[in-house]
């Protein structure tokens, strides 16, 4: 009986040790620059972090009023934490067929530069805040949480960033819970850089954090708002190639409409491609919404076609120009009843937001 009890006890101990080993936190990255005042809650205990300190996959990272840190993860993802920031690592898996990165941010400012995880699993990278779930498919972005709001700054991307399911273009920011999307300003870029870079650390207190790299191989990324980019005087096309993306919206005008209609579309300012076009007529005889519009801006000419919905098709043709504060568009539109060959025409005007 004693031998049996001892045997069962040994088996139970082995099982406990196996479970503990399986549940033990794994090192998934390390600190590559810091300013004193950075800790990790690990196993319920605070651990001070410094240069080359390992970071575990369940660490809760916090900085105090002076602390800042930059962490390089195994998949080359880089996260820079500003002062008074908390970031809880919930899932960090760099290897295997389903890699993932999920973190929960409680407060403060952090900048993220995604690595190989999004290359292997485009839907596997997310950051959650009290107001937002940010899904990233490859980009440089920053998050600010505080005073009951979350702001996501998309500073540079060739992929897609979704915040609560809403696509936010490169060079724009979204503020929640309001859901307002607006272009980044020089002040936004200065805020991000100033919040996560320790320019003058105290002696012995750490090292300066690296500024964000330019994904095109140049220097530090500069603001990409329309107002800052020169446009070719001979047309819009060449100047657009220096920019990123714009969200354009405005009104449709027709004397038969009971109220002005509306439209919107996205413009890739690098290629001039137009996508995600939507027309809303506010006329009961027509479908409420025609979607799927696509086309291009070439020089100063704008053409958007392929709108469809409820047996109707739509198109827009006009001009696009830079006003100094954004992109301005105007021209004429047509909505056609496919079955009756009836066409309703009018004019439109709008601008980038």
d(CA 287, CA 338): 12
Q: Which two tokens stand for residue 246?
A: 């714009």
Q: Are 266 and 247 in contact (CB under 8 A)?
A: yes
Backbone angles phi, psi at 59, to 5 degrees: -65, 145
Identify which has the larger pLDDT, 110 or 319: 110
Q: Which two tokens stand for residue 40?
A: 């990790």
Q: Which two tokens stand for residue 164?
A: 């609560």
Peptide bond into 177 cis (omega under 30): yes
CATH number of the domain encompassing residue 331: 2.40.128.120
Helices (H) and strands (E) in the chain, counts: 4, 25
Same domain? For 68 and 121 the reply is: yes
Identify which has the larger pLDDT, 257 or 129: 129
Closest by alpha carbon to 221, among 155, 144, 136, 154? 155
Same domain? For 285 and 178 the reply is: no
Identify which has the larger pLDDT, 225 or 214: 214
Which spans in the chain are helix H? 2-23, 116-120, 186-196, 236-240
Closest by alpha carbon to 79, among 103, 97, 98, 99? 103
pLDDT tens digits, 12-61: 544 444 444 444 568 999 998 888 899 999 988 999 999 999 999 999 99
Closest by alpha carbon to 75, among 103, 96, 50? 96
In a domain, 272, yes or no: yes
In a domain, 246, yes or no: yes
What does the pLDDT average to over 258-271?
A: 80
Closest by alpha carbon to 225, among 250, 194, 191, 189? 189
Pairing of strands 86-93, 180-183: unpaired
CATH number of the domain encompassing residue 130: 2.60.120.1440
Record the pTM. 0.55
In a domain, 219, yes or no: no
Q: How many domains does the chain have?
A: 2
Highest mean pLDDT of the ranges 96-100, 103-107, 251-255: 103-107
In a domain, 125, yes or no: yes
Q: Which two tokens stand for residue 98?
A: 């389903």
């Amino acid at each position: 009986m004693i031998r049996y009890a001892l045997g069962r006890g040994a088996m139970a101990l082995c099982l406990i040790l196996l479970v503990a080993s399986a549940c033990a936190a794994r090192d998934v990255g390390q600190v590559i620059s810091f300013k004193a005042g950075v800790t990790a809650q690990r196993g319920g205990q605070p651990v001070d972090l410094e240069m080359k300190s390992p970071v575990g996959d369940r660490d809760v990272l916090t900085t105090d009023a002076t602390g800042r840190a930059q962490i390089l993860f195994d998949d080359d993802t880089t996260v820079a934490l500003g002062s008074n920031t908390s970031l809880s690592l919930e899932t960090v898996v760099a290897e295997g067929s389903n890699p993932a990165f999920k973190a929960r941010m409680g407060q403060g400012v952090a900048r993220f530069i995604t690595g190989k995880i999004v290359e292997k699993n485009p839907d596997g990278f997310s950051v959650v805040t009290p107001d937002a779930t940010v899904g990233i498919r490859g980009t440089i972005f920053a998050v600010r949480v505080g005073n009951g709001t979350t702001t996501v700054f998309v500073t540079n991307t060739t992929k897609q960033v979704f915040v609560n399911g809403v696509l936010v273009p490169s060079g724009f920011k979204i503020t929640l819970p309001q859901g307002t999307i607006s272009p980044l300003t020089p002040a936004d870029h200065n805020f991000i850089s100033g919040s996560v870079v320790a320019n003058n650390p105290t002696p012995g207190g750490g090292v300066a954090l690296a500024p964000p790299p330019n994904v095109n191989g140049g220097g530090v990324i500069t603001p990409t708002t329309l107002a800052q980019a020169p446009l070719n005087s001979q047309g819009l096309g060449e100047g657009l190639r220096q920019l990123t993306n714009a969200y354009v919206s405005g009104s449709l005008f027709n004397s038969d409409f009971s109220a002005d209609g509306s439209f919107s579309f996205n413009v890739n300012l690098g290629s001039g491609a137009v996508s995600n076009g939507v027309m809303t007529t506010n006329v009961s005889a027509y479908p409420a919404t025609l979607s799927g519009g696509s086309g291009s801006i070439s020089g100063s000419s704008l053409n958007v076609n392929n709108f469809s919905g409820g047996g109707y098709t739509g198109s827009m043709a006009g001009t696009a120009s830079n006003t100094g504060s954004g992109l301005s568009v105007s021209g004429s539109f047509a909505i056609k009843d496919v079955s009756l060959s009836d066409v309703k025409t009018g004019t439109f005007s709008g601008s980038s937001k």
